[in-house]
């Protein structure tokens, strides 16, 4: 039941250009230019919402998608797009990628050019160095021993296309303890979704898709002649656990963050061995 509850919560979570200043209806905004041409698509992340604007020769129109009293989206942006372009906008979604395609296609047609150049979506990287603890919740750990761990992680994301989505690749090492002779070096890859993405901090869900583990342990047994034998065991294993966790970044400077994560809360394709997960890391992340 506990595993199902955690999994339900996590699954519910998963469902930089130059900026110019614009004054629109008496309010001033710092907006990024996504598409330029006959129509200009402007946007930014403002007060935890994504705001989109269309600039024509004479005016700037905000694209809105508000809700009615019953909580249904009114999709006003479609009628605004239709009135400006005189094109059917029923298939346009209220996302940066969909709006960009619609405006770019319109510009291509009205400019009578073979292709309207679209700015390449910039790819950003962040590097994280971390330390923490783990009890290896998917490994048989009878005494629930806590192991120190440390590692590095690289995160790649595109602010332009999917600002809330990222991929990560990491390397971690957990040291053995005196009461449990077990060490693990792990290479892992996963997907991250930021469900709160503000200027000062963000919260996200992690889904570690696959891992490659280098483990060392020892086992002791007695032979028939009462001889005590200790055997060292080294294994290399590949796993696809699809394990979930949560994390957050607190902004320190324009390009650096304090990061805390609680991972391996639950996994789809790996079973917990009986101990409540304790996989916590604290680190420093900076933009490359």
State the pairing for strand pair 123-134/49-55. unpaired
Amino acid 23: pLDDT: 84
Per-residue pLDDT of the chain (288 residues; tens, 9 = 90+): 555 555 555 555 454 445 678 888 888 888 888 888 889 999 888 887 889 999 988 789 999 998 888 888 889 999 999 999 888 988 899 988 889 999 988 888 886 544 444 455 568 899 999 999 999 999 999 999 999 999 999 999 876 545 688 999 999 999 999 889 999 999 999 999 998 877 788 999 999 999 999 999 987 777 777 777 678 889 999 999 999 999 999 999 988 999 999 999 999 999 999 999 999 999 999 988
Amino acid 114: pLDDT: 43
Which residue has 């962040």 as its token pair? 126
C-beta separation of 107 from 38 below 8 A? yes
What is the pTM for the complete model shown?
Answer: 0.61
C-alpha–C-alpha distance, residues 38 and 55, integer Å: 9
The tally of CA atoms less than 13 A away on the side-chain side of residue 6 is 18
Residue among 162, 199, 178, 149 nearest 45 (CA)? 199
Measured between alpha carbons, how far is residue 72 from residues 64, 69, 96, 98, 160 in Å?
13, 7, 21, 20, 27
Angle at 221 between CA 232 and CA 136, to 5 degrees: 55
C-alpha–C-alpha distance, residues 33 and 72, integer Å: 29
Q: Where are the domains of the chain?
A: 16-111, 122-287
Amino acid 115: pLDDT: 45
Amino acid 5: pLDDT: 53
Residue among 211, 195, 202 nearest 243 (CA)? 211
Measured between alpha carbons, how far is residue 268 from residues 1, 125, 172, 190 in Å?
14, 28, 21, 14
Amino acid 27: pLDDT: 85
HEC readout, the chain: CHHHHHHHHHHHHHCCCCEEEEEECCEEEEEEEEECCCCEEEEEEECCEEEEEEECCCCEEEECCCECCCCCECCHHHHHHHHHHCCCCCCCCCCHHHHHHHHHHHHHHHHCCCCCCCCCCCEEEEEEEEEEEECCCCCCCCCCCCEEEEEEEEEEEECCCCCCEEEEEEEEEECCECCECEEEEEEEEEEEEEEEECCCEEEEEEEEEEEEEEEEEEEEEECCCCCEEEEEEEEEEEECCCEEEEEEEEEEECCEEEEEEEEEEEECCCCCCCCCCCEEEEEEEEEC
Amino acid 16: pLDDT: 43
C-alpha–C-alpha distance, residues 226 and 222, integer Å: 6
Amino acid 120: pLDDT: 53
C-alpha–C-alpha distance, residues 192 and 246, integer Å: 9
For the domain with range 122-287, which CATH number is right: 2.40.160.20, 2.60.120.620, 3.30.365.10, 3.30.70.360?
Answer: 2.40.160.20
Alpha-carbon dihedral 182, 264, 189, 16, rounded to 10 degrees: -130
């Amino acid at each position: 039941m506990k595993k199902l509850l955690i999994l339900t919560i996590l699954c519910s979570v998963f469902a930089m250009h130059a900026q110019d200043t614009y004054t629109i209806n008496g309010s001033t905004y710092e907006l990024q230019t996504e598409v330029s041409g006959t129509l200009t698509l402007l946007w930014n992340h403002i007060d935890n919402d994504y705001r989109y604007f269309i600039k024509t020769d004479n005016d700037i129109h905000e694209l809105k998608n508000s809700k009615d009293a019953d909580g249904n989206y009114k999709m006003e942006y479609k009628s605004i797009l239709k009135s400006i372009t005189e094109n059917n906008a029923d298939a346009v979604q209220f996302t940066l990628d969909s709006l960009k395609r619609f405006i770019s296609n319109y510009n291509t047609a009205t400019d009578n050019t073979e292709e309207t150049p679209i700015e390449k979506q910039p790819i950003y990287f962040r590097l994280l160095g971390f330390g923490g603890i783990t009890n290896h919740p998917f490994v048989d750990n009878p005494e629930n021993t806590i192991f120190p761990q440390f590692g590095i992680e690289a995160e790649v994301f595109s602010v332009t296309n999917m600002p809330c989505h990222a991929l990560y690749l990491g390397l971690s090492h957990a040291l053995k303890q005196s009461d449990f002779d077990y060490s693990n070096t792990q290479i892992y890859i996963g997907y991250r979704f930021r469900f709160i993405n503000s200027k000062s901090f963000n919260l996200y869900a992690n889904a570690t898709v696959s891992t490659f583990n280098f483990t060392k342990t020892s086992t002791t047994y007695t032979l028939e002649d009462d001889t005590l034998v200790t055997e060292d065991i080294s294994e290399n294993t590949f796993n696809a656990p699809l394990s979930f966790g949560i994390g957050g970044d607190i902004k320190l400077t324009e390009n650096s963050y304090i990061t805390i994560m609680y991972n391996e809360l639950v996994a789809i394709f790996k079973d917990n061995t009986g101990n409540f997960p304790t996989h916590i890391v604290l680190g420093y992340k900076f933009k490359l």
